Chain A
Amino acid sequence: GAVVSQHPSWVICKSGTSVKIECRSLDFQATTMFWYRQFPKQSLMLMATSNEGSKATYEQGVEKDKFLINHASLTLSTLTVTSAHPEDSSFYICSAREERELNEQFFGPGTRLTVL
């Protein structure tokens, strides 16, 4: 099956720094990638949808200047948390989808971000 990787798996950073998370589709071309955030004991919350070569579409309440998303190629999307604060500590999960398979999303393993 299709494989999606995320890097890093976990990261600890100081408040005020920026953190970049990579999401890669390893064996297929991902025309669309989704970024989710999950707080403890809660379900996944969609942050934004990105299509290759165009600007990401952010969900209501998600600050686009704080969570920068770049989907420059068909196999790579990045999420940069700028000026991270402790309240940004969360589990960030990406998923990827092929253009022809709209009903299938393949999930990455997630990135645990802890901001001190």
Chain B
Amino acid sequence: GQNIDQPTEMTATEGAIVQINCTYQTSGFNGLFWYQQHAGEAPTFLSYNVLDGLEEKGRFSSFLSRSKGYSYLLLKELQMKDSASYLCAVLDSNYQLIWGAGTKLIIKP
């Protein structure tokens, strides 16, 4: 079966750095996405990795290791507005998105 694991909840302090991990086992792989979702809103795109390595975009970076079935999202200089759920999703061999359950990130002042 297809499976994506990420922590249910994480807490971090404003201004700090947090890393959200995601491991996956899917039928084929056509890339891994990270989305941010605030309560009551649709997901918004953060990053897409299809090759191994680190992709940096401002305060957010995403890493992928295909051999390990592993990715992480790194958030730097945390702000209160970063409090949200972060969803890891893998595009499988049929180009369907397989979703993780999401990690609720709580930022404390």
Contacts and interface: CB of A to CB of B under 8 A. Distances in A.
Chain B interface residue count: which class? 20 to 34
Interface string B66-109: 00000000000000000000010001000111011110100000
B42 A93 contact: yes
A1 B41 CA distance: 18
Contact of B41 (A42, A105, A110): A110
A112 B41 CA distance: 9
Contacts of A102: 30, 91, 95
A107 interface: yes
A103 interface: yes
Contacts of B91: 102-103
Interface residues of A, number: 18
Interface of B: 30-31, 40-45, 48, 50, 87, 91, 95-97, 99-102, 104
Interface of A: 34, 41-46, 49, 91, 93, 102-103, 105, 107-110, 112
